[in-house]
A and B are shown apart, each in its own frame.
Chain A
Amino acid sequence: MSRIGVFLCYCGSNIAGTVDVEAVAEMARSLPEVVYVETNKYTCSDPGQEGVKNAIIEKGIDRVVVGACSPRMHEPTWRKLLADTPVNPYMLEVANLREQCSWVHKDREVATAKAIDLVKMAVAKVARLQPLHSIEIPVHKKALVIGGGIAGMQTALDIADAGFQVTIVERETSLGGKMVMLDKTFPTMDCSACICTPKMSEVGNHPNITVKSYSEVENVSGYIGNFEVTIREKAKFIDYNLCTGCGACETKCPAKVTNAFEQGMSQRTAIYKMFPQAVPAKPVIDAEHCLKLTTGKCGVCSKVCPTGAINYEDEDKLTTETYGAVVFATGYKLIDWKPLYPEYGGGKYEDVITGLQFERLVNASGPTEGHVLRPSDRTEPKSVVIIKCVGSRDPNKGKAYCSRACCMYSAKHAHQYLDKVPDGKCYVFYMDVRTPGKGYDEFYMNTLHDGAQYIRGRVSKIYKEGDKLICKGEDTLTSSQVTVSADMVVLETAMVPADGIDELAAKFTVGRDADSWLVEAHAKLRPVETNTAGIYLAGTCQGPKDIPDSVCQAGAAASKVIGLLNKDALQSNPQISRVNETLCQGDGACVNICPYGAISIVEKQFRENSRKVVRPVAQVNPGLCQGCGACTVTCRAGAMDLLGYTNESIMREVDALCQW
């Protein structure tokens, strides 16, 4: 027999104005198992709370019903109060007498009748609740950052500076991401490498940061505070303990491969560093193109290596470690525009290039050593057309969203081109110019002053005439057809999530939107958290961003991680699913339905009919389960139940309501 205490609140006149609280109290006294009923002007006030506490102790109450404002408002307050009393904090039910009763009904009689029902319902439920206890989840004080671009590096540095160990997993052979490919950064025109490479070496030399380059996440299990992550370090064929990074091997390697870092505009060797300032500053062998590894003949690099660091027998290494928190900083890539825009040549004209190719063309360490030379014949283009929103804001062909940084970097490209080719002409076809940001619009205005000609409209066709590219488009401001004869065309293409994001996010059960950008827990109030506890977002994996915004978000994600790692243990939410192992048939319907991967099937030994039987049963991981209850309904045997919202308690609530 339980001893229920009912505490009803007037909330000044908020509830008492429409609900006859004393009549509700009178009714509550007549309910079975209710041993004490109290009304209070403001139950949530300090004296009100003190009164509840005293009553619990004096009357030996073991379950509490509060009839007051919405549980969304003060349920945590009551739970906290109960934690200081002998009553379990989860032996509580709140009847919503304010938001869903007194505030929405005017008729006193009707509202009082409804309040009575709501209290009856709460009493019926609380009588069926069981005490629940949070478990303590230990926190491994180590963070994993996936992606070594500017967002990943900033996150790692901030976490590491706070004194925690960080591992960065980078798929490429070097840190730096997309930022290190850029020539200059808007609006200050800092040399990108000059501000990015110091960060790279800071990360590389930080005592708290481990950089795993040329590595990918293979497998993940666990939950907040305890992610067990297996990382595959691809075979580099070079012993990094011996290699000094002298680069002798790179000069002698005979194999030639298209250089992805230079956006395909030059060639590299099969043993290579991504770029001269790479971190780690040591090469890897590209197994796909190495002559020794593909044909068995060559081995020049091992002959020239002064330290004997080359090892052709190297294999992928798998390491498993436990991390308390994970940050996604997986970044973006540019959309593959070629199949989408056959009207721009679909890739058949060499001089139609992307913005990232242009960055390399104007970069002093790029394929042309900073001279603007068009790829086809290495001559200086005297007229350049820049086309914005290629793939962005184009739901028919590309993506519906705005890629956000292109307006600024196309202005930068126009500025850079006019700077390097003073007698050149630059035309920018645009849909809109969006320059919100500190110093951004001023930068755009300067570009106009430089002489860039902005034409509002899209280019509908590009075709070749002699060695000229003819761009036909419309100037929508004058409603006239425009034809520009250009030597080179730069397409400012849309940002899309990096390759493999779907598979990676699925491993961590992180949500993606229709365009595969990772989804934050709340667009405004929880912008760097994901719906999976302990996993955070930094940079463009969450959506298109420029560098300042990426760095901002990286810092925010780092502060969330630091907050988490600062705790020794987490209190889990005890309102989670529970398996009745006697009923469970181990068919795994719940495993398939769980959005968090919290349920697994394990073989367990039971004593049935005085015999030992081993059979499969479901097991709920209390760290992963978020308490949605989807599994409880899907279980054919009815073996799953949700603590705090058990089938029995809900059925009794329904029964209580039906009595009205």
Chain B
Amino acid sequence: MSVVETNEAAAQVPENWEPKIIAFCCHWCTYTGADLAGLNRMNYPANVRVLRIPCSGRMNPQYVIEALNKGCDGVLVCGCHPGDCHYVTGNYFARRRMMIFKRLLEYEGLEPDRFQVRWISGAEAGKFRDTVMSVVEQVRALGPLNLTREIPYFELPAVPDGEEAFDAVPEEVVPEEVSA
């Protein structure tokens, strides 16, 4: 991606700057997975603060806007794998909402890596750690989110078409079945 080169703000990274990232995690899967990472004494960067929500279906896009507005450099939303939601269908709703919302953020000029959605189960402590590490590294590479900066130019990813639009969930998330 050409973001790093073109982001002027990134060039002026303050000394000792550390990215601030909020992870919204659903209580039943990802929060459990994060706890398991602790039980296994895994190590990951402290740049991520976990905020517990009951279900990824509870995730209101407003929270992301608030976080980015108030000085967060990145936001991570995590829930159960599609099909595994404790509340049956909550993460399907989250997937659609976050997909559309992500495109809006990108349209507004936010680099795609600053807002990510991941499905992490209660058993995937390793995946939680890896996700946190990669998100922190990606956001670190982008530099501080300076909302007043000139919006850097970058190619928007191609718009998924028709039915595909609902399935074009950020990365890895390929549902076996969309029942909701």
Tell me the A residues contacting B by CB distance below 8 Å.
Answer: 70-72, 96, 98-101, 103-107, 110-111, 113-114, 117-118, 121, 509, 511, 514, 531, 575, 593, 595-596, 626-630, 632-634, 642, 645, 647, 650-651, 653-655, 657-660
Contacts and interface: CB of A to CB of B under 8 A. Distances in A.
A645 to B, nearest CB: 6
A651 B34 contact: no
A104 B55 contact: no
B46 A657 contact: no
Contacts of A650: 51, 53, 60, 63
B118 interface: no
Contacts of B46: 101, 104-105, 107, 110-111, 113-114
B54 A645 contact: yes
B58 A658 contact: no
Contacts of A627: 54
B87 A630 contact: yes
Given A117-B49, A658-B67, A70 B90 contact: no
Contacts of A117: 49
25 contacts: A70-B35, A99-B34, A99-B38, A100-B34, A100-B35, A100-B38, A100-B50, A121-B51, A509-B88, A514-B177, A531-B87, A531-B88, A595-B89, A628-B57, A628-B86, A629-B55, A629-B90, A630-B93, A633-B59, A633-B93, A645-B53, A650-B60, A651-B66, A654-B22, A657-B49
Contacts of A105: 43-44, 46
A100 B62 CA distance: 25
Contacts of A654: 22, 51, 63, 66-67, 70, 72
Given A593-B93, A628-B87, A654-B70, A633 B58 contact: yes
Nearest to A626: B87
Contacts of B89: 595, 630
Interface string B94-126: 000100000000000000000000000000000
A72 B32 contact: yes
Contact of A651 (B41, B62, B71, B90): B62
A628 B29 CA distance: 13
Contacts of B53: 629, 645, 650
A128 to B, nearest CB: 14
B15 interface: no
B51 A632 contact: no
Contact of A660 (B20, B32, B42): B20
B40 to A, nearest CB: 9
B159 interface: no
A575 B70 CA distance: 28
A658 B41 contact: no
Most A CB within 10 A of own CB, among B34, B46, B66, B177: B46
Contacts of B67: 654, 657-658
B176 interface: yes
Contacts of B41: 103-104
A449 B59 CA distance: 63
Interface residues of B, number: 44
Given A100-B50, A654-B66, 18 more contacts: A70-B35, A100-B34, A103-B39, A103-B41, A104-B43, A104-B44, A121-B49, A514-B176, A575-B54, A628-B54, A629-B57, A633-B59, A633-B97, A642-B58, A654-B72, A655-B70, A658-B20, A658-B22
A602 B24 CA distance: 34
Given A630-B89, A660-B20, A647 B60 contact: yes
Nearest to B37: A104
Contacts of B22: 654, 657-658
Given A72-B35, A629-B55, A595 B87 contact: yes
Contact of B60 (A99, A103, A633, A655): A633
Contacts of B34: 99-100
Given A100-B38, A104-B37, A655 B87 contact: no
A629 B54 contact: yes
Contacts of B62: 647, 651
Contact of B51 (A70, A71, A653): A653
Contact of B66 (A100, A104, A575, A655): A655
Contacts of B59: 633
Contact of A114 (B49, B58, B72): B49
Contacts of A629: 53-55, 57-58, 90
Contacts of B52: 71
Contacts of A645: 53-54, 58
Contacts of B43: 104-106
Contact of B58 (A99, A100, A118, A632): A632
Interface in B68-87: 70-72, 86-87
Contacts of A72: 27, 31-32, 35
A242 B116 CA distance: 71
Nearest to A107: B46
A653 B53 CA distance: 11
A628 B176 contact: no
4 closest cross-chain pairs (CB), A and B: A99-B38, A629-B58, A628-B87, A658-B70
Contact of A657 (B39, B72, B90, B177): B72
Contact of A630 (B44, B57, B63): B57
A628 B49 contact: no
A101 B38 CA distance: 8
A184 B80 CA distance: 45
A514 B83 CA distance: 10
Contacts of B54: 575, 627-629, 642, 645
Contacts of A110: 46
Contact of B49 (A111, A118, A595, A642): A118
B175 to A, nearest CB: 12
B97 to A, nearest CB: 7
Contacts of B63: 650-651, 654
B5 to A, nearest CB: 28
A117 B46 CA distance: 11
A517 to B, nearest CB: 14
Most B CB within 10 A of own CB, among A70, A71, A655: A70
Most B CB within 10 A of own CB, among A118, A645, A654: A654
B93 A99 contact: no
A593 B66 CA distance: 25
Contacts of A114: 46, 49
B36 to A, nearest CB: 8
Contacts of B58: 628-630, 632-633, 642, 645
Most A CB within 10 A of own CB, among B42, B43, B57, B63: B57
A500 B20 CA distance: 52
Nearest to A631: B57
Contacts of B72: 654, 657-658
Contacts of A118: 49
A146 to B, nearest CB: 20
Contacts of A99: 34-35, 37-39
B99 to A, nearest CB: 14
A101 B34 CA distance: 10
A595 B39 contact: no
B6 to A, nearest CB: 26
A106 B58 CA distance: 32
Contacts of B61: 633
B44 A633 contact: no
Contacts of A642: 54, 58
Contacts of A653: 51
Nearest to A595: B88
A118 B23 CA distance: 13
Contacts of A658: 20, 22, 67, 70-72
